[in-house]
Structure 1
Amino acid sequence: MMKQLVDKTGRDSRAENTGTSEAVLPGDLMTNRQRAQLVLVLGALIAIGPLTIDMYLPALPAITAGLQTTETAVQLTLTGTLVGLALGQLLVGPLSDVVGRRLPLLAGLAAHIVASVLCVFAPNIAVLGALRVLQGLGVAAATVVATAVVRDLFSGASFARIFSRLMLVMGLAPILAPTLGSGLLRWTEWRGVFAALAVLGALLIVVAALQLPETLAVARRRHGGVAATLRDYRGLLNDRAFVGLVLVAGLAMAALFAYVSGSSFVLQDQYGLDEQQFGLAFGAGAVGLIGGTQFNVRLLRRYTPQQILVSALIAGTAAGLLLVVFAATGFGGLGTLLASLWLVLAAAGLALPNAPALAMSRHSEAAGTAAALLGAVQFGVGALSAPLAGLFGTGSVPMAIVIAGGMAAALAVMVLVVPRATLGAVDPDLAVAVH
């Protein structure tokens, strides 16, 4: 039934192409059950990214000892994954606008499976780091295609609502990943984590092949080869509001990844938590992130995405500054540190669905390319934040400074770079409250 809806509306004129706001999008014709099914499938696909990033976090100290390397070198394997995610999306996004969504998705998942298997046999940290880049390239396809599929089917505030639901599904990955990794480490070494990721990739490629229809009709695919792709990127980069919103999303993601990369060392080495306790503490932070995304759905009934985004960035910056104070002074111990982290993650949960929704609503004619640039900046900036936190040590203060800096920089970009006047014209759905 979902495929029939996509095929039917894929031949219709869309709102952005006709200059009206009445054209029917495929998502408008879906029942609640069909939307729930779509969210589950796309959420599972997006979740492979956080699982690939987070599942081995409890094993970072074990990898450091097992491969006889340094903590900074091990953190760079996380950076490698984020670099692969960023570069892969720049390639896969335009490709998915040309050949459709399914083929790049299935090819990327296959690459992830191969890389995960090879990680099991990595002899040293250099090889492991290179394979983590390949893993990132593979899961990039799932990340960018899932976002583009949502834009194929939905627009404006509907996009923000569906994306918030997607973040609920993929938010389970950060909660479960360290716990799953910790459980695996109780009966196997760190290499077993990568074997599990290979199995997960195999399951997801079956789900994608059987459950996800092609959402980009042939008539709407891009033509012109490399020259057209470069024109698309140039058009996106010339849109000041789009670039600003992408940077906002990237800087908010940088705060998130500074927490992801530094929390294992801070909570286990500095505060003495074991692998299982770390998994629980990390999961509590993910609850804050998920809570923010789901509260966002309710807020969208009364406020516009841009209003929520600005408020979230202000709250996240304030919580980040509190985090720096608690980390530097030690006031309240682990409790206040975790509480302020939770507030930052909750604010990020409000910001992350709305910045992409505002950005993507500006360029439906090249949704794959726009999603690629958005994802590349998010994970690229995240890749820089991960080693930046470790460059000045693995304690709580460097991590807190990078987290607070990311949220403060996102707020500054939103206020100084994104023109408020252009946001009101992004999409009719974004200018009104959603009832």
Structure 2
Amino acid sequence: MKRPTLASRGAPQKALSEKEFIALFATIMSLTALSMDAVLPAFRDMANALALTDVTQIQWVVSALIAGMVFGELVFGPVSDVIGRKKSILTGVAIYILGSLIAMTAHTLEVLLLGRFIQGLGVAAPKTVSRALVRDLYQGRAMARIMSYIMVVFILVPMLAPAFGQMVLLVGDWRWIFAALMLQGLIASVWLITRQPETLAPENRHRFELKRLVREARYIVSHREVMCYTGMSGLTFAGLMLYLGMSQSIFQDLYDTGDAFPLYFAIMAGGAGLASFTNGQLVMRLGMRRLVWVALSLKLTAANSMLLAAWLLGGVPPLWLFLCLGVPIFFSMGLLFGNMSAMAMEPLGKMAGIASSVTSSLTSLTAVVLSVIIGAFYNFTVVPLAAGYVIFTGLAFVLMLTANRMHKASNHVTQETTPSQ
């Protein structure tokens, strides 16, 4: 496979090695995961510091972040087609740092949520534009392979993020977590500025034309196969969001794990990290669709088993059984994320910026709405989580069947090689 190369002529920066390219964009994209998960161990401290009468309100700090991402994803994709990928990512990280500063200095829930919303608005840029940048350089199975390796680190970060947050709480209060997030944003920015060439050549950029954006957005949302993959991504992300909102209560309230919560959180998430690495090894040989079918089948089986166990055992199966069924679910998620993203972006290479924007925002919006709806049924048992997994995976299975029929009917021939640079 060829190394990522520069799309613009005469630029002074050399192309990164594949390993550094993967490491850089895993670091940049992991800002999203770290922002969501590092604060989980601090929920109780934050609720006490802000004198909340209803401690469940502190869960809104995750929802506020995702809400900001939904809006940011709609903006930064088209912007990156106009000003380039690097400038868009750096602008977003600057906004993210501002949001972190506001959250760090908040003394009321409202100000904290404002900071989190601004964080989400900013972090949408690296989350969305990075996909467009990868699409500038790769397509088909090659793109799925690169995205899978990026997802390994992207998923390892949330595995360790609660432990990181717990360590910060040993030396400072919850505000220090936001200071650490600001520092990571600065480090990622410097790395991007000094090492990664721009991938969108000036001659390939668009002027900002509202009519063109509306026309392209309409094309994307009317592309039924792309919308099926986007819906699948949203359903998968909804399952992850549901788990994030419930995980602290499940492990500490139901299973009384105390300070060991980050360890059990990491065990669950470890399945997804292993799957992303496995996917990177297998996707070039087996193809994206075959691996997606395997992942959906495994996830649906494990989710139904978890729901049955919870129903038969009074809503709270033993911790060992919960982990044994949860790890395969997360393994399936790891197989799904990279492949679904690549399949959604594959037909839209000529409009990668706005395509990434539209698909990412729809994915996040779907995840927020569905996770909030199912999360409202949380009753201090595992049943709502397991039921959510069953519902989301069953719907994703139907969407994959539909997309597969469309793919065959369209007689679309996919070029599964890395483009020459």
**TM-score with structure 1 length normalisation?**
0.89
Counterparts of 1:217 and 1:234, CA distance in 2: 25
Tell me the distance in 2 between the aligned counterparts of 1:200 and 1:257. 23
**Mapped contact 1:361–1:426 kept (Cα < 8 A):** no
In the alignment, which of 178, 186, 195 is matched to residue 170 of structure 2? 186
Cα RMSD for the two superposed structures: 2.2
| CA distance, structure 2, for counterparts of residue 90 and residue 342 of structure 1 | 33
Percent of pairs identical after alignment? 27
What is aligned with 1:23? none
Instruction: Give the distance between the partners of 2:116 and 2:413, measured in 1 at CA.
Output: 37
Corresponding residue for residue 425 of structure 1: 412
Counterparts of 1:111 and 1:257 in 2: how far apart (Å)?
Answer: 23
Match of 1:364 among 318, 331, 349: 349
Q: Between Structure 1 and Structure 2, how many residues are aligned?
A: 409
Residue 171 of structure 1, CA deviation: 1.6
1:261 Cα offset (Å): 1.5
Contact residue 76 and residue 88 of structure 2 kept, 8 A:
yes
1:346 aligned onto 2:294? no
2:285 to 302, 310, 314: 302
Mapping of 1:78-97 within 5 angstroms?
A: 78-97=62-81
Instruction: Give 1:376's aligned residue.
Output: 361
- The answer to whether the Cα contact below 8 Å between 1:39 and 1:165 also exists between their aligned partners in 2 is yes
**Cα distance per residue 1:60-104 (max 9 Å; x no partner):** 122223323224321122111111112101100011011111111
* Aligned residue number for residue 394 of structure 2: 408
Which AA in structure 2 matches 1:7?
S
How far apart in 2 are the matches of 1:259 and 1:321?
A: 16
Aligned position for 1:47: 30
Question: Which among 255, 258, 263 is matched to residue 274 of structure 1?
Answer: 258
- Match of 1:108, SS? helix
Quote the Cα distance in structure 1 between the aligned partners of 2:272 and 2:194: 30
Q: Is the 8 A contact 1:362 1:426 kept in 2?
A: no
Deviations 1:295-341 (A, max 9, x none): 11232243221121122112111111112223333375011111111
The answer (yes or no) to whether the contact 2:145–2:284 under 8 Å persists in 1 is no
Distance apart, 1:200 and its partner CA: 1.5
Q: Does the aligned pair in 1 maintain the 2:59–2:245 contact within 8 Å?
A: yes
The correspondence of residues 118-133 of structure 1 with structure 2, limited to 5 A, is 118-133=102-117
For the pair 1:397 / 2:366, whether they are aligned, the reply is no
Instruction: Tell me what 1:76 maps to.
Output: 60
Distance 1:368 1:375 in 2: 11
Write out per-residue CA displacement over residues 130-177 of structure 1, whole angstroms, 9 at most, x where no aligned residue.
Answer: 211110011100111111110000111000000001001212211121
Residue segments in structure 1 that go unaligned for 5+ positions in a row: 11-28, 431-435
Separation in 2 of the partners of 1:299 and 1:264?
A: 34
| CA distance in structure 2 between the aligned counterparts of 1:402 and 1:94, rounded to whole angstroms | 33
Aligned equivalent of 1:254: 238
Which of 33, 39, 43 lines up with 1:60 in the alignment? Answer: 43
- Aligned partners of 2:28 and 2:188 also within 8 Å: yes
Which range moved further: 387-396 or 235-244? 387-396
* Structure-2 separation of matches of 1:322 and 1:3: 43
In structure 2, distance between residues paired with 1:384 and 1:304? 31
- Contact 1:363–1:370 (CA under 8 A) maintained in structure 2: yes
Segment drifting more, 227-236 vs 323-332: 323-332
> Contact between 1:262 and 1:386, CA under 8 Å: does it hold in 2?
no
Cα distance in 1, alignment partners of residues 368 and 203 from structure 2: 36
Q: What residue ranges of structure 2 are gaps of 5+ in the alignment?
A: none
